[in-house]
Amino acid sequence: MRLIVRDDAISAAHYVAKYILKRLKEFEPSQSRQFVLGLPTGSTPIEVYKILTNSYQNGEVSFENVITFNMDEYVGIPRDHPESYHSFMWRHFFSHINIRPENVHILNGNASNLEDECLQYEAAIQAAGGIDLFLTGVGEDGHIAFNEPGSSLVSRTRVKTLAYDTIRANSRFFSNDINQVPRMALTVGVQTVLDAREVVTIALGARKAVALQRCIEGGVSHMWTLSSLQLHRHSMIVADEDATLELQVKTVKYFKSIEQVALEEGFEQAISKRLRKALGEKHACHALAKSAAPEPALDNMGSRIRNNNITFVG
């Protein structure tokens, strides 16, 4: 895992956006070979989306052959609600670029059968060949997507109840009225994120400092689901200085020195074309195997849903 530290939030967002643009240009997506991008919502990625939008409008990049999968969506609020993640993504990103609407995938929190929605979402990711790059944020309690503390590190897309701290933090998007914030959401699982070929996380502000410290200097723990990135072969966290306030000084210096040496040697984190091809073949084989296998037991999804009664099991 790499840690990239930038002076402020704008600089961190620029680094992440330029990194994504570089990956897209290296990949050279086409109609027969599309780039699959996992995306977050919330205030953290907004500046990244602005930079990506500007790059498209300046003719630097095309999203015509990009497929996206969003991390999560609230349960029970209309799709056109201003604070639904569907509305968020079209308002801040999709309506400003040339992405094909059929290539946009966002969980439906109003599906008649939430369990089937989750299963179909996982199947859609596999059918697309797996996710090439998953961009994530991180919650104050170290969660990625809505994988709250205590989530299984091998979890898949499922229904989750939201922790009180998450509900409180998200109330700022609902006129600071905590009673308006949905209590449940659909979310990709930790393993869903880890299956991506590459994971890039952006952490901004002093409120994320404790989470960043636990996830970098602590061990892997289901109580801090971002820490699972320690197990990923191509993961990177980009943080501003404020987000590093709880890290030891020597930790920050170490990662800064690693970046400096890498730049001096002309080396950056990169997935070779050979490895990318191998991973793509692995995902394709996995998708074929899943299509021939029986559906997983309900317990493996982390919830049981029958007749609108939901029992959460992990």
Active centre residues (catalytic): 72, 141, 143, 148
For 190, residues 6+ apart whose C-beta sits below 8 A from its C-beta are 144, 147, 151, 152, 153, 154, 155, 225, 228
Q: Is 186 helix (H, G, I), strand (E, B) or coil?
A: strand
For residue 117, CA distances in Å to 75, 90, 97, 287, 293 come to 12, 21, 27, 17, 18
What are the two backbone dihedrals, phi and then psi, of residue 24, each rounded to the nearest 5 degrees?
Answer: -65, -45
- What is residue 110's DSSP assignment? T
| Residues 311 and 304: beta-carbon distance below 8 Å | yes
At position 203, the amino acid (one-letter code) is: A
Q: For residues 116 and 25, give the distance between their C-alpha atoms in angstroms, rounded to a whole number.
A: 35
For residue 207, CA distances in Å to 3, 62, 213, 300 come to 18, 34, 11, 33
